[in-house]
C-alpha cells in the first residue's frame, strides 16, 4: 500500500463539494489555471455519490454475484445425485477457490476484483454452511447457520477492511436477529460482540451509513430478544420508538446546530455548550458522519418499531402474555425526555414535531397499556394513533428531505409511506373496496412523491451556480 | 497489496475452519454412533424449493413432563391447535426448578440441553427389528438407558415442553420424497434410522418404509 496509486482518493461528498468551491475560488483569484484545477479535482473521488468507478464496481459485484448463483444452480440441479463425500468436496473446493482467487487478485494489484471475489467467497461460504447441513439432514435451528455465516463474513470484512463485505455481514446480522428472536425468545448476547466489531469497522471505514445500520439493528435486537429491562416481544416496541426518537434528536442536534445558516459542506461553527462540543468532537471523527449515522439509525428504529404498533391487537401481546415492568416505562420516559429536550432547543424545532410526537406516543402508549384495561375502542384508538404518526413521519421526511435535497431522508419517508400502505392494506386485504381505495391513494401518493422530488429547490451554493450557468 | 492477499487467505482459512468444524460435529455420530430406529409420527414432503426435504415429526416433540397435568392453552391460542403432548416422567431436578419460575422467566430455560431417554422395543418386523421407545426426559443421562441429546425449545406452557433433538428433517432424492408422503397417507409405518453418539448426539441417516431404506 506504500506505493503511489493513480486511482483518485476517496473523500466524502461534502468535503469534495467544499474542495470544489475552494478550487473555483482559487481559479477566480488566478492562483490556478483551469487545467490545474481539473487535475486537482481529478485526484479525488467523492464517496456517497454516483461515480463511474463506483458504478463499474457495482456492475462487477453484480456480475460476480450472478455467476456465483449460476454456479450454485448448476450444482444444485445435480446435488441429490452426488455422493456425500463429493458434496463436501465441492463445498470446500468452491469456498477455498473463491478466497484463493481473491488473494491472487490482491497480490496482482487489483483491489476491486479482489474485493468482489472475496464478497463472492463469503456468499459461497454461507451457501456452503447450508449445503453441508443438508448433507447431514440438518435443518434444525437455522439461525445458528446464519450466525456462523455472519461471523465469517464479518471476519473477512475486518481483515480486508471492505465496506461491501461489512454491509453483507450487517444484512446477515439484520436477518439473524429477528430469526433468532422468533426461534428462541431469550436474550442472545452473541449479538453484542458482533455489533461492536461492525461498529468499529464502520468507524474505521468512515462509513456513517454502516454505523447507523448497526445502531438500528441494535434497536431491533432490543425489540425481539428481550434483553435487559425490555422484557419480551411487544413490550420492547414502545421503548424502542422512544430510543429511535432520541437517536434522531441527538443526531440532528449534535451534527447540525445551525441548519439553514450553513451551506452543505461548509465547516460548521463551534458549538457553545459542553455537550454540543462533545457530540461535535465525536462527529468530527467521522467527518460529521456520526450525526447522520444516528439520524439514519433513529429513522430505521422508529420505522421498525412503529409499524407493529399499528396493529389493533398489539397491546394484547403484552397484556395477555406478559406484564410490562416499570423499568421499561422509566427507560422509555428517559429516551423520550432526551428526544424532547434536544429537539426543543433546536432552532428548527417546529420542523421536527414528528420526533416529539413519536417520543410522546411511545410513553403514552406504554402507560395506557400498563395502567388502563384496554378495550377494543381504546385498542383501535392506539392503532389509529400509531398509523397517523407513521403517515405524518412519512410526509414530514419526504417534504423535509426534498426541501433539503437529502435523498436519504426522502427515501426514508418513502419507506415509511410504503410501510404504512403495506400494514394498512394487510388489515383490509379481505375488503376489495378498501383495498382499491388504499392502493389508489398509494398510487396518487407515489405520483406526489415524484413531483415533490423533481420540484425540490436547489439548496447548495454549487447547484445554484450550476443553475445560473 | 500483498498484505491484503495474505489477509484474504487468512479469512478463507478461518471460513474453511468453521466449515470443517461443522463437518466434524455433524458427522461425529455417523462415524462413531450406534444405529437406532424411531417411529415417525408424520412426514411432510411439501417442499416448494424441490430440495427433497421431508419434514419429520415424532410423538416426543411435545412432552408433558407432569403426566396427566397438561391443560390445553388458553382461548387466545384457539386458532393455533396445540399438538398433543406425550406423557413422560421428568428425571432430575430441572423440572422442579422450571416449575418454580413464572411466565416470562421460563424463556430463560429455552435452549438448555436435555436428554430424551429411550429403551428398545421389538417391532415384530424384519426391518427394523427394534424401535426406540421414549422413557423419560432428564438433564443428566442415566446408566442403562440410551440418551438422545437435544435442547429445550419452548417451556412457556409448562409442564408442556417442546424438545428439539435435531432429527426433524431429511433430504431425500427427488423421487423418494413423494413416495414417503404417499406411504404416510396410506398409513404405512415409517421409521427414521438414526445414529447416536456416546454423548447422545443423534443424526438422521435414512428413512425405512415397507422395509425399504430411503436416503
> Which of B:89-148 have CB within 8 Å of A?
103-104, 107-108, 110-111
Q: Is A374 helix (H, G, I), strand (E, B) or coil?
A: coil
Chain A contacts of B104, Cβ < 8 Å? 226, 231-232, 321-323
Nearest CA in chain B to A184: B110
Could you tell me which of A104, A101, A103, A146 has the C-alpha nearest to residue A125?
A146
pLDDT digits (tens, 9 = 90+) for A110-134: 888 899 899 989 998 998 898 888 8
Q: What is the pLDDT of residue B101?
A: 82
Cβ-Cβ contacts under 8 Å, A325 against chain B: none
Closest alpha carbon to A405 in A209, A232, A265: A265
Provide the pLDDT for residue A152: 96
In this prediction the ipTM stands at 0.82
Q: Return the closest-CA partner of residue A185 out of A147, A229, A149, A227.
A: A227
CA atoms of B64 and B55, how far apart (whole Å): 22
Instruction: Tabulate helix, strand, coil % of chain A (nearest 5).
Output: 75, 0, 20
Which pLDDT score, from 0 to 100, does residue B45 have?
80
Distance between CA atoms of residues A35 and A129, nearest Å: 54
- Residue whose grid cell is 436428554: B115
Are the beta carbons of B55 and B44 closer than 8 angstroms? Answer: yes
d(CA A98, CA A121): 5
What are A203's three cell numbers?
468507524
The residue ranges of chain A whose pLDDT is under 70 are: 1-7, 10, 12, 14, 47-62, 69, 72-73, 76-77, 139-142, 182-187, 226-235, 254-290, 312-327, 343-351, 374, 404-406, 408, 427-435, 452-469
A149: left (phi over 0), alpha (psi -120 to 50) or beta: alpha
Q: Judge: B8–A99 Cβ closer than 8 Å, yes or no.
A: yes
Measured CA to CA, the distance from residue B52 to residue B55 in angstroms comes to 10
Residue B38 confidence (pLDDT): 95
Contact present, A113 and A160 (Cβ < 8 Å): no
- B211 Rama class: left (phi>0) / alpha (psi -120 to 50) / beta: left
A-B CB pairs within 8 A amount to 147
Answer left, alpha or beta for residue B144, where phi above 0 means left and psi between -120 and 50 means alpha: left
A111 CB neighbours in chain B (<8 A) are 1, 4
Q: Is A105 in contact with A113 (CB distance < 8 Å)?
A: yes
Low-confidence ranges of chain B (pLDDT < 70): 1, 47-51, 71-83, 103-104
Are β-strands A44-47 and B62-64 bridged in parallel, bridged antiparallel, or unpaired?
Answer: unpaired
**Residues of B in Cβ contact (< 8 Å) with A132:** 19, 22-23, 26
d(CA A369, CA A268): 44
What SS3 state is found at A431?
coil
Residues in chain A with CB shorter than 8 Å from the CB of B52 are 80
Beta bridge partners of A11: A46
**Tens of pLDDT along B15-39?**
999 999 999 988 899 899 999 999 9
Nearest-Cα residue of chain A relative to residue B153:
A184
pLDDT of residue A380: 80
User: How far does A465 lie from chain B, in Å, by closest CA?
Assistant: 41
With b for 16 or more beta-carbon neighbours within 10 A and e for fewer, the A226-252 pattern comes to bbebbbbbbbbbbbbbbbbbbbbbbbb
Contact indicator for A46, A12 with CB cutoff of 8 Å = yes
Q: Residue A231's pLDDT is what?
A: 53
- Say how far apart CA A12 and CA A16 lie, in whole Å: 6
Confirm if B193 and B205 have CB atoms less than 8 A apart.
yes
Task: Compute CA distances B138 → A160, A211, B66, whole Å.
Answer: 47, 45, 13
What is the least distance, in Å, from the CA of B104 to any CA of chain A? 7
Per the structure block, which three cell numbers stand in for A273? 455548550
- 3-state DSSP assignment of residue A293: helix
Q: Is the peptide bond before A260 cis (omega within 30 degrees of 0)?
A: no
Quick count: other Cβ atoms within 10 Å of Cβ A66?
Answer: 10
CA angle A181, A187, A190 (to 5 degrees): 95
If you ran DSSP here, which 8-state letter would residue B151 be given?
E
Query: What gap in Å lies between CA A31 and CA A39, rounded to an integer?
Result: 14
Mean of the per-residue pLDDT values of chain A? 74
B109 to chain A: nearest residue by CA?
A186
Task: Please name the residue of chain B whose CA is at the shortest distance from the CA of residue A317.
Answer: B76
Q: How far is the C-alpha of B208 from the C-alpha of A255, rounded, in Å?
A: 66
Amino acid at each position: 500500500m506504500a506505493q503511489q496509486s493513480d486511482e483518485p482518493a476517496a473523500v466524502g461528498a461534502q468535503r469534495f463539494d467544499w474542495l470544489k468551491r475552494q478550487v473555483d475560488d482559487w481559479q477566480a483569484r488566478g492562483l490556478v489555471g483551469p487545467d490545474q484545477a481539473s487535475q486537482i479535482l481529478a485526484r479525488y473521488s467523492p464517496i456517497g455519490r454516483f461515480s463511474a468507478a463506483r458504478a463499474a464496481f457495482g456492475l462487477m459485484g453484480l456480475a460476480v454475484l450472478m455467476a456465483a448463483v449460476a454456479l450454485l444452480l448448476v450444482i444444485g440441479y445435480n446435488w441429490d445425485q452426488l455422493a456425500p463425500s463429493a458434496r463436501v468436496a465441492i463445498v470446500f473446493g468452491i469456498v477455498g477457490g473463491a478466497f484463493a482467487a481473491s488473494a491472487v487478485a490482491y497480490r496482482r494489484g487489483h483491489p476491486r476484483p479482489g474485493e468482489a471475489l472475496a464478497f463472492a467467497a463469503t456468499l459461497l461460504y454461507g451457501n456452503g454452511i447450508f449445503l453441508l447441513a443438508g448433507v447431514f439432514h440438518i435443518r434444525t435451528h437455522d439461525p445458528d447457520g446464519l450466525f456462523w455465516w455472519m461471523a465469517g463474513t464479518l471476519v473477512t470484512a475486518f481483515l480486508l477492511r471492505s465496506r461491501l463485505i461489512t454491509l453483507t455481514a450487517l444484512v446477515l446480522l439484520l436477518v439473524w436477529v429477528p430469526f433468532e428472536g422468533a426461534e428462541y425468545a431469550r436474550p442472545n448476547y452473541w449479538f453484542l460482540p458482533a455489533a461492536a466489531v461492525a461498529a468499529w469497522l464502520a468507524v474505521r471505514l468512515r462509513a456513517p451509513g454502516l454505523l447507523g445500520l448497526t445502531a438500528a439493528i441494535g434497536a431491533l435486537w432490543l425489540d425481539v430478544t428481550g434483553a435487559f429491562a425490555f422484557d419480551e416481544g411487544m413490550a420492547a416496541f414502545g421503548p424502542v420508538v422512544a430510543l429511535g426518537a432520541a437517536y434522531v434528536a441527538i443526531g440532528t442536534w449534535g451534527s447540525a446546530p445551525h441548519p439553514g445558516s450553513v451551506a452543505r459542506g461548509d465547516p460548521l461553527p463551534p458549538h457553545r455548550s459542553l455537550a454540543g462540543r462533545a457530540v461535535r468532537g465525536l462527529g468530527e471523527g467521522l467527518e460529521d458522519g456520526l450525526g447522520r449515522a444516528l439520524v439514519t439509525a433513529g429513522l430505521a428504529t422508529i420505522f421498525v418499531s412503529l409499524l407493529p404498533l399499528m396493529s389493533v391487537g398489539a397491546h394484547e401481546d403484552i397484556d395477555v402474555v406478559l406484564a410490562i415492568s416499570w423499568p421499561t416505562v422509566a427507560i422509555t420516559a428517559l429516551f423520550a425526555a432526551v428526544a424532547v429536550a434536544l429537539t426543543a432547543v433546536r432552532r428548527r424545532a417546529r420542523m421536527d414535531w414528528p420526533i416529539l410526537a413519536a417520543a410522546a406516543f411511545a410513553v403514552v402508549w406504554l402507560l395506557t397499556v400498563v395502567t388502563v384495561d384496554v378495550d377494543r375502542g381504546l385498542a383501535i384508538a392506539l392503532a389509529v394513533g400509531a398509523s397517523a404518526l407513521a403517515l405524518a413521519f412519512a410526509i414530514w421526511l419526504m417534504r423535509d428531505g426534498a426541501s433539503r435535497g437529502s435523498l436519504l431522508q426522502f427515501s426514508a419517508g418513502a419507506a415509511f409511506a410504503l410501510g404504512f400502505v403495506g400494514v394498512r392494506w394487510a388489515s383490509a386485504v379481505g375488503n376489495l373496496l378498501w383495498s382499491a381505495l388504499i392502493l389508489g391513494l398509494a398510487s396518487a401518493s407515489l405520483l406526489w412523491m415524484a413531483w415533490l422530488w423533481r420540484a425540490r429547490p436547489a439548496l447548495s451554493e454549487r447547484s445554484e451556480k450550476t443553475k445560473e450557468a | 497489496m500483498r498484505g491484503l492477499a495474505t489477509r484474504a487467505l487468512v479469512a478463507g482459512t478461518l471460513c474453511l475452519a468453521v466449515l470443517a468444524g461443522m463437518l466434524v460435529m455433524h458427522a461425529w455420530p455417523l462415524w462413531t454412533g450406534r444405529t437406532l430406529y424411531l417411529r415417525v409420527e408424520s412426514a411432510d414432503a411439501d417442499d416448494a424449493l424441490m430440495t427433497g426435504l421431508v419434514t419429520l415429526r415424532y410423538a416426543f416433540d411435545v412432552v408433558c413432563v407432569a403426566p396427566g397435568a397438561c391443560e390445553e392453552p388458553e382461548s387466545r391460542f384457539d386458532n393455533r391447535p396445540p399438538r398433543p403432548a406425550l406423557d413422560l416422567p421428568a428425571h432430575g431436578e430441572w423440572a422442579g426448578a422450571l416449575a418454580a419460575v413464572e411466565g416470562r422467566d421460563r424463556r430463560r430455560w429455552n435452549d438448555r440441553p436435555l436428554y430424551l431417554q429411550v429403551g428398545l422395543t421389538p417391532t415384530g418386523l424384519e426391518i427394523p427389528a427394534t424401535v426406540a421407545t421414549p422413557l423419560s426426559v432428564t438433564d443428566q443421562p442415566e446408566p442403562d438407558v440410551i440418551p438422545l441429546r437435544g435442547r429445550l425449545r419452548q417451556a412457556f406452557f409448562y409442564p408442556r415442553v417442546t424438545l428439539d433433538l435435531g432429527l426433524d428433517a431429511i433430504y431425500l432424492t427427488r423421487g423418494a420424497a413423494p413416495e414417503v408422503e404417499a406411504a404416510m397417507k396410506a398409513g404405512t409405518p415409517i421409521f427414521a434410522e438414526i445414529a447416536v453418539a456416546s454423548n447422545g448426539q443423534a443424526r438422521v441417516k435414512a428413512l425405512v418404509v415397507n422395509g425399504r431404506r430411503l436416503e
